[in-house]
Structure 1
Amino acid sequence: MVDMSREEFEEAVSDALDLVPEELAAQMDNVVIFVEDEAPADAPDLLGVYDGVPLTERDFGWAAGSLPDRITIFRNPTLAICESREEVVEEVTITVIHEIAHHFGIDDERLHELGWA
């Protein structure tokens, strides 16, 4: 397990977000990114999760005043599977991109095909 402060981990998440192409970042709509220390008790090994309505499923019934979609990146499960800070940065980047892809309506099967899952 890698020892990394919450601040350092949040910086890795921020750096991963900076890698998202500007054209894609500009299209992200009503979504916020969080860092939590622990994954849910029913999925303790989860590295990240997207909770919301993907852009591809939003229609006229989806209200602009809706609560934001949430992407949560889990710190401790990520640190537990990594052996170096470099590996943490790489895993955080993969997880952030993976969850953003869900916001754009890309499912796990397609992510596997693309090599992102």
Structure 2
Amino acid sequence: MHLTDDEFEAAVADALDSIPPQLTAVMDNVVILIEAEPPEHDPELLGVYEGTPLTERDSWWGAGALPDRITIFQGPLQRMCTSAAELREEIAITVVHEVAHHFGIGDDHLHELGWG
């Protein structure tokens, strides 16, 4: 399944809009990026969170800190889905999964919650 770049970006924005406002309001110093493909060493990676989770930040954390990064990889998501609806659902799952890492929620707990 293939979406145009604009359609894919809109699906990521819709996924972010689905997160309750009380949670997005406390997201701090994080940027959401879309890249065509993940690193060569992990070609099936759907998304990645890079940064310091909110639960691990101390009072000195913000002094000159670069934004955390959530990157969503368009290629693998599109290759794994056979319909636009399925792709939009997988995008939403991936976005929520990576945002959860920003809040300090680990993979094991996300899998238990059905967001693995």
TM-score computed with the length of structure 1 as normaliser:
0.96
Partner of 2:99: 100
Q: How far off its partner does 1:60 sit?
A: 2.4
How far residue 65 of structure 1 moved from its aligned partner, in angstroms, is 2.8
- CA RMSD across the alignment: 0.8
In 2, Cα distance between equivalents of 1:115 and 1:54 = 20
Report the CA distance between 1:63 and its aligned residue: 2.4
Count of residue pairs the alignment pairs up? 116
Q: CA 1:46/1:26 → structure 2, altered by over 3 Å: closer, same or farther?
A: same
Aligned position for 2:39: 40
Runs of at least 4 residues of structure 1 off by over 2 A?
none
Residue 17 of structure 1 aligns to a residue in which SS? helix
What residue is the counterpart of 2:51 in the other structure? 52
Unaligned runs of 5+ in 2: none
| CA shift digits 1:79-100 (9 cap, x unpaired) | 0000000001000000000000
C-alpha distance in 1, partners of 2:104/2:20?
A: 17
The residue number in structure 1 matching 2:25 is: 26
* Matched AA of 2:45: L
Q: How is 1:80-99 mapped onto 2 (pairs within 5 angstroms)?
A: 80-99=79-98
For residues 22 and 60 of structure 2, what CA distance do their matches in structure 1 show?
Answer: 26
Structure 1 residue 113, shift from structure 2 partner? 1.0
Q: Alpha-carbon deviation of 1:36?
A: 0.3
User: Residues 64 and 22 of structure 1: is their aligned pair in 2 closer, same or farther, counting only changes over 3 Å?
Assistant: farther
| Aligned-partner Cα distance in 2 for 1:20–1:61 | 28
Aligned-pair identity in percent equals: 59
Gaps of 5+ in 1: none
